[in-house]
Amino acid sequence: MILPPDFTRPEDFYSVYDRHRTYVRAEVRAKHLREFGRNLWRPGGFEPGHRVLELGCGVGLFLAYLERMGVKDFVGVEMDAKAREFMPPSIAERVITSSFEAYFDQPAGKPFDRIVLLDVFEHFDPGEGVALLRRLAQRLRPGGQVVLRVPNMASPWGLQYQYNDLTHKGFYAPGNLAQLALAAGYQRVACLPYGRGSAVRRFTTRLVEGALDRLLTDPPPVWTANFVAVLQPNAAP
């Protein structure tokens, strides 16, 4: 007899994850083209000829975006089997349903130019994050980069993204993520805001945040609810 989890650890809450999360079919729309282009494609230096791995790809929306941008060589890894039901067929055939550990236990194959983790890294505490980044470095080509999006714990706007999921174990801000990258043998290439919403709303938000920058003694370095970090392993000595 398999006993139910006692919910004493964050990992125990994965047992109800598929009932907690919202599934939306992956359909790339104009707003996604603008948002991903502005916040990920250009800052991450993606190119159509790149080989890309996305860990925790969900329903495959970003992979579908890469496909629209002409990227042909990509792989997704997603632990939640139900997410496959919401993927376009051309994406589902590229996605492996597996834990990260099981995936990395397989032969490495061709290295990647970019490894992407969107709303995933916060599921790892700092020690686990260091171990994960070290494993990712082994799967990157020389000059390859890791692109992360995480809730921004330096900003009050990031609290809802961090605390709406009990499986989140890491609490990251631009400063401590740079510190973690150093511990893992990486350099931080960029740490950037992740802007959502229409151009009007983004403009209004920037006005408010600019006023707060002038009024507050210690404003956050990045205000947006989530931020993007681009990390690159240090060259071997």
Which residue(s) pair with 73 in the sheet?
51
Structural domains in the chain (count) = 1
| Residue 153 structural domain | 25-233
Question: How many whole angstroms separate alpha carbon 214 and alpha carbon 217?
Answer: 8
Q: Is residue 37 part of a domain?
A: yes
Neighbouring C-beta atoms of residue 99, cutoff 10 Å: 11
Q: Residue 17 falls within a domain, yes or no?
A: no
Specify the pairing of strand 73-78 against strand 140-151. Answer: unpaired
The reply to whether 173 falls in a domain is: yes
Residue 109 within any structural domain of the chain? yes
Q: With b meaning 16 or more CB within 10 Å and e meaning fewer, what string describes 103-139?
A: bbeeeeeeebbbbbbbbbbbbbebeebbebbeebbeb
Q: Give the contacts of 218 (CB within 8 A, at least 6 positions apart).
A: none
**What distance in Å separates the CA atoms of residue 167 and residue 55, rounded to the nearest whole number?**
16
Query: Which domain CATH number covers 88?
Result: 3.40.50.150
Query: Which residues make beta-bridge pairs with 117?
Result: 148
Question: Does any domain span residue 41?
Answer: yes
* CA 215 – CA 237 distance, rounded (Å): 46
The answer to whether residue 128 sits within a structural domain is yes
| pLDDT tens over the chain, length 237 residues | 566 788 999 999 999 988 888 999 999 999 999 999 999 999 999 999 999 999 999 999 999 999 999 999 999 999 999 999 999 999 999 999 999 999 999 998 999 999 999 999 999 999 999 999 999 999 999 999 999 999 999 999 999 999 999 999 999 999 999 999 999 999 999 999 999 999 999 999 999 999 999 999 999 999 999 999 999 999 865
So what's the pLDDT on residue 179? Answer: 97
Q: For residue 235, what pLDDT is reported?
A: 83
The phi, psi pair for 196, rounded to 5°, reads: -115, 165
Examine residue 14 and state whether it is found in any structural domain, yes or no: no
